[in-house]
Amino acid sequence: MKHTEIESKWQKVWADKQAYKSENNSTRPKYYALDMFPYPSGSGLHMGHIASYTPTDIISRYKRTKGFNVLHPMGYDAFGLPAEQYAIQTGVHPAITTEKSIASFRATLQRYGFSFDWSREISTCEPDYYKWTQFIFLKLFEKGLAYQKEVPVNWCPALKTVLANDEVIDGKSERGGHPVIRVPMKQWMLKITDYAERLLQDLDKIDWPERTKEAQRNWIGKSEGATVRFNIKNFPEDSFEIFTTRPDTIFGVSFMVLAPEHPLVKKICTPDQSSRVSDYIASTAGKSEVDRKANTEKTGVFTGAYALNPVSQKEIPIWIADYVMMDYGSGAIMAVPGHDERDFEFAQKFDLPVVRVLESETDLPFTGEGKLCNSDFLNGLTKTDAIQKMFTFLEEKNLGKKQIQYKLRDWLFSRQRYWGEPFPILQTQDGKLQAVPENELPVLLPEVANYEPSDSGEAPLANNKEWVNYSADLKRETDTMPGAAGSSWYFLRYTDPRNSSAPFSTEAAQYWMPVDLYVGGAEHTVGHLLYSRFWTKVLFDVGLSPVDEPFQKLAHQGMILGPDGEKMSKSRGNVIPADEVAKDSGVDALRCYICFLGPMDKDKPWNSSGIDGVKRFLDRLTRLAINETTGESIATDSELPAEVEKLLHKTIKKVSEDIEAMSFNTCISQMMILVNELYKHDCKSKKVLLPLAQLLQPFAPHTAEELWSKLGGDGLVVTAAWPQFKPELCTDDTVTLGVQVNGKMRGTIEISVTADEAEAVAAAMKVATVTSALAQQTPTKVIYKAGKILNLIAPAK
């Protein structure tokens, strides 16, 4: 049979027998393996999806055969900008294009034989799903964690919507490459900052890659320091606060910097600096936040105003610069150019004073440790002592206080788009906000005549006046939620996806959560992976989730690169169509080759000739069991040669251990070694071929099922109990031992693993290169560790 016939044959059997269906509240131990679900685009699934979903499928298949009740679901992150942009261009409702894309994705995933429990399939754009996204939002609103605020946002005039930072690249929209500017707009915000400390501390509870945890720690950015208030000369009613981790260096402050958007800037700006300040503010508005952070060239304008150093009372010039952000901290910093590289560069460019307040023998800026100097009552103190003394001084004089601060900012949570979840919020005539009654959920996404926001940023939902006017004195919120809303809790919905009275039942979540293995890209580290942890903690606090961390173990898959070693893209012409590869070589060969390319978490360049080698391996194994012409079994019931039996049990042991370690490439290699050994001994015994089919099943399920069936295996191989190895057959009777003379390798010997020193030396003395290195003499000393080292010390010359 051709591989396409075998694939469709067994996929139908698995579906008919519901081989992958998971049961809630089973008495078996549970295992929850999850992929980051895809956005269903019109371009369909690509090689990256296949590479991402294969590892969890291998683990899921293995765990089922080890007796686990496995939850391995699939769904679609279906709200988002691409479908909406297509609707704007064509007039086709996003629901229609999304449904078509989902059907295409589902068919492809099923064609690849992934062992998903399709009875739990979800889509975030379906009303029976987003009803509960709205329900969870109301919980956030009730707890005071959802609020509205005017904040600077990334506004794209061409797309007429707010964009998240990760949707802006080099000042342009990721989709379409349109210019993006910063403008103030009233937006929904979520108080993720209230959870900063828990999000930080609980990283120690989960098994994630250290680089991912460290990236979240840096993003949360915990700092211990002090807030200090600076008064402004000639403005007795006005002042501003800064936060610093080095309050001990306050005598070294030579200028202050405010964000261009700081509310005090226009008030304190002197007339002679007014036009320069206004021009600078306007130019800054044309830059995205990402650009402002990334820009290495220091720019700024003097306001003409001066602050007063609260400790020394010296006048300090106040500047504005775009590297200071209004929505981070207080939008103001104190600059100590003598001991900060960024401040030093700014001071050099604008000819501002540089004061040394830390002793060192190096030129400024000095950023190391040193005793305080030029600092009045702090002189001679170490950093630690000086900071503590300054804390005391500031608090006694009511000039500041000790404080912990985080870089993490609240989550900007609204979009001026059509294709998203409507907010279940009503606004009174006097601007007060109230929740839509729970029994009216879901607030359905209404029909609109135009999917485009207005030029001023009013969302498309505002076009449907009948929908907006909830009652005579109440209007609906017309912004929609971001795509990250539905993906921040979908893993919980999978535990009980058909529940119509709650987002999920307590019992189902208690049984399945947390996710045991989550696989997806590292690019989601400070987006989805952080937001999901936040929502889970909120749901835990309100008594809905039984856990406060959603993903116990996280793994990142490496990218499949083009043959040229570059990221696959249409523009480079290096895309390898997964469907074509599967058609030519078969799904199983593609799955195995993805594993065989290298370690799961490393990027791997595609090599078209490499998949041919994997295909040959599968064909060679099949020919040991099945006659190519008749399709009948040619396996025997003969006993195994001792060498084959030992290698079989070593293979069972290694493949089992390597699957657990997600070292899939070495599993394939080990099975190839076993197949070569079978050909060497012309061994076609069922006693090795049946367990080999079981070992192959997680990687090449269609081939394994065909082998199992033809060999007379009981039931389905995908549910057959995993083979057991005999420990006594996994150890070697002999070992190849390197022989050193005076520490240099001179030859090898094959000896029993239990050989004593005398036996080892006797064997070594029969090796010509060893006796030559000893000048035909007896060694004066022997260093021997059985099975590990034999070092002979030659007599001194």
Q: Mind listing the pLDDT tens digit for each residue in 359-406? A: 999 999 999 889 999 999 999 999 999 999 999 999 999 999 999 999
pLDDT category at 160 given cuts 50, 70, 90 is: confident
Of 507, 527, 560, the last residue of a domain is: 560
Assigned token pair, 745:
């390798």
In this model, does residue 174 exceed pLDDT 80? no
pLDDT for 1: 59
pLDDT for 457: 73
Of 687, 702, 729, the last residue of a domain is: 729
Tell me: the pLDDT tens digits for 506-536?
A: 999 999 999 999 999 999 999 999 999 999 9
Look at 424 and 157; give whichever has higher pLDDT: 424
Q: Is residue 339 part of a domain?
A: yes
pLDDT for 580: 83
pLDDT category at 49 given cuts 50, 70, 90 is: confident
Tell me: the pLDDT tens digits for 735-757?
A: 888 999 998 999 999 888 778 88
Tell me: the pLDDT tens digits for 328-354?
A: 778 999 999 999 999 999 999 999 999
What dihedral angle (degrees, nearest 10) is formed by the CA atoms of 520, 524, 526, 529? -50
C-alpha distances (whole Å) from 781 to each of 111, 116, 740, 784 are: 66, 63, 12, 10
CB-CB contact of 481 with 420 (8 Å)? yes
In this model, does residue 640 exceed pLDDT 90? yes
Residue ranges at the known binding site for ATP: 570
Tell me: the pLDDT tens digits for 183-220?
A: 888 899 999 999 999 999 999 999 999 999 999 999 99
pLDDT for 393: 95
C-beta atoms surrounding 531 within 10 Å? 21
On the CB side of 333, CA atoms within 13 Å amount to 21
Domain co-membership, 625 together with 717: yes
Q: Report how far residue 718's alpha carbon sits from residue 297's, in angstroms, rounded to the nearest whole number.
A: 60
- The CATH number for 786's domain is 3.10.20.590
In this model, does residue 170 exceed pLDDT 80? no
Number of domains in the chain: 5
pLDDT for 98: 94
Q: Does residue 442 have a cis peptide bond before it, meaning omega lies within 30 degrees of 0?
A: yes
Of 710, 729, 748, the last residue of a domain is: 729
Domain co-membership, 723 together with 682: yes
Q: Report how far residue 664's alpha carbon sits from residue 779's, in angstroms, rounded to the nearest whole number.
A: 46
Residue type, 278: S
Q: Does residue 184 have a cis peptide bond before it, meaning omega lies within 30 degrees of 0?
A: no
Q: Is residue 317 part of a domain?
A: yes
Q: Is residue 268 part of a domain?
A: yes
Q: How far apart are the first and last CA of the chain?
A: 73
On the CB side of 549, CA atoms within 13 Å amount to 18
**Which residues lie across from 235 on neighbouring strands?**
232
Q: Which of 43, 51, 24 is nearest to 114 (CA)?
A: 51
In this model, does residue 295 exceed pLDDT 80? no
Domain co-membership, 718 together with 740: no
Q: Is residue 216 part of a domain?
A: no
Mean pLDDT score, 714-732: 93
| pLDDT averaged over every residue in the chain | 92
C-alpha distances (whole Å) from 5 to each of 8, 106, 387, 540, 706 are: 5, 19, 74, 48, 11
In DSSP notation, 755-794 reads: --HHHHHHHHTT-HHHHHHTTT---SEEEEETTTEEEEEP
C-beta atoms surrounding 142 within 10 Å? 11
What dihedral angle (degrees, nearest 10) is formed by the CA atoms of 487, 492, 495, 498? -70
pLDDT for 386: 96
Residue ranges at the known binding site: 570
In this model, does residue 166 exceed pLDDT 70? no
Percent of the chain with pLDDT strictly greater than 70 = 99
Domain co-membership, 241 together with 357: yes
C-alpha distances (whole Å) from 11 to each of 57, 65, 109, 337, 702 are: 14, 18, 11, 67, 8
Domain co-membership, 288 together with 384: yes
Mean pLDDT score, 231-240: 95
In this model, does residue 691 exceed pLDDT 80? yes
Domain co-membership, 581 together with 724: yes
What range defines the domain where residue 629 resides?
A: 575-729
pLDDT for 121: 98
pTM value surpassing 0.85: yes
Domain co-membership, 667 together with 784: no
Domain co-membership, 242 together with 389: yes
pLDDT for 562: 86
In this model, does residue 177 exceed pLDDT 90? no
Mean pLDDT score, 77-82: 88
Domain co-membership, 288 together with 371: yes
Mean pLDDT score, 462-474: 94
Residue with tokens 């000639």: 234
Assigned token pair, 524:
């989601």
Mean pLDDT score, 761-785: 90
Q: Report how far residue 330's alpha carbon sits from residue 325's, in angstroms, rounded to the nearest whole number.
A: 8
Domain co-membership, 284 together with 253: yes
CA 749 to chain centre: 49
Domain co-membership, 589 together with 708: yes
pLDDT category at 729 given cuts 50, 70, 90 is: confident
The sheet carrying 517-519 orders its strands as 69-71, 30-35, 517-519, 554-555
Q: Is residue 567 part of a domain?
A: no
Q: Is residue 205 part of a domain?
A: no
Q: Is residue 214 part of a domain?
A: no
- The CATH number for 615's domain is 1.10.730.10
- The CATH number for 304's domain is 3.90.740.10
- The CATH number for 505's domain is 3.40.50.620
Q: Which of 445, 483, 481 is nearest to 464 (CA)?
A: 445
Tell me: the pLDDT tens digits for 530-560?
A: 999 999 999 999 999 999 999 999 999 998 8
CB-CB contact of 382 with 450 (8 Å)? no
Q: Is residue 424 part of a domain?
A: yes
Domain co-membership, 762 together with 711: no
Assigned token pair, 192:
């993720």
